[in-house]
Amino acid sequence: MANIMSTIRTSAMSAANSTYIIAPRGKHTHTIILLHGRNSTGPDFADEIFEGININATAFGGCKWIFPTSSAAWSKQFQEDLTEWFDLASTSNPYNEQERQVAGLEASVRRIHILIKEELKHVSGSNIVLGGMSQGYATSAHVLLSCKERLGGFLGISGWMPFCKEVKNPWSTNSTRPFHMSEIEMCSGVNINIPMLLTHMKDDEVIKVNLGKQARTAWQELGFEPVWKEYEDGGHEIQETKGFADIEKFLVGVVGK
């Protein structure tokens, strides 16, 4: 795997707030943007993904893979600098002290929107897949909810939806916008019914499976139809057998259309 990766990497920056890109092997037809979890990096998450997904599959030949790395910031919870998409008081209860999440989440959402806008110069929105793991899932969820373009699919791994209880019918003009979005607004439900896969492990001790189920319910209440995959074990990782197989099947299905 290492030799394969070394031949197709076009950027392997590991510094915070950088973007790690793997170029398509042939004509660029699709872009897959995946966000890492807390205290990880784009290159590390790419390595994790490609441990179980065959990047050389025929369906991925035209895919450009983008793995951004979040900014580094002081974590009050862990008392150290971490790469994180937004500040978080608690992983066991990510709805605690939500006001601390606002600035970082808004900034991260704006950054991913810029990436999407750049990719729209090369492929259509329906050929862009968005997603992430853990806090990366949490961030990409709000990117999707505020995206003006209809995308091709969404992948959420072992995560949750920030401000889950406040995200109620944001398409309504009378709805209170989550976390008082100043520049990023909820858009029309342009992405309702796009292919969506959500996965979680029952024994996840970092982000409990109930948080994933709450997010699933929130998606459903918003009109989305997520496919939910729950596995017995695997912790706060991608499940090594069925998990990777389900993710690869989902991505192949989306980019193969």
- In order, the DSSP letters of 93-104 are -TTTTGGGGHHH
Dihedral sign (CA 228, 233, 237, 242): negative
Q: Kindly tell me if the per-residue pLDDT of 168 is higher than 70.
A: no
How much is the pLDDT for 76?
67
Copy the structure tokens of residue 120. 């729209």
Tokens of 110: 């704006």
Model confidence pLDDT, tens digit, residues 7-27: 334 333 335 568 999 999 999
CATH topology of domain 2-255: Rossmann fold (3.40.50)
**pLDDT at res. 13:** 38
Domain boundaries, the chain: 2-255
Report the percentage of the chain scoring pLDDT > 90: 61
Q: What is the four-CA torsion angle of 236, 34, 216, 203, rounded to 10 degrees?
A: -10
The predicted model gives 191-197 an average pLDDT of 94
pTM: 0.88
Rounded Cα gap, residues 219 and 127, in angstroms:
21
Q: pLDDT tens digits for 46-100?
A: 999 999 999 999 999 999 999 999 988 766 666 667 899 998 888 888 888 888 8
Does 188 have pLDDT greater than 70? no
pLDDT value, residue 1: 39
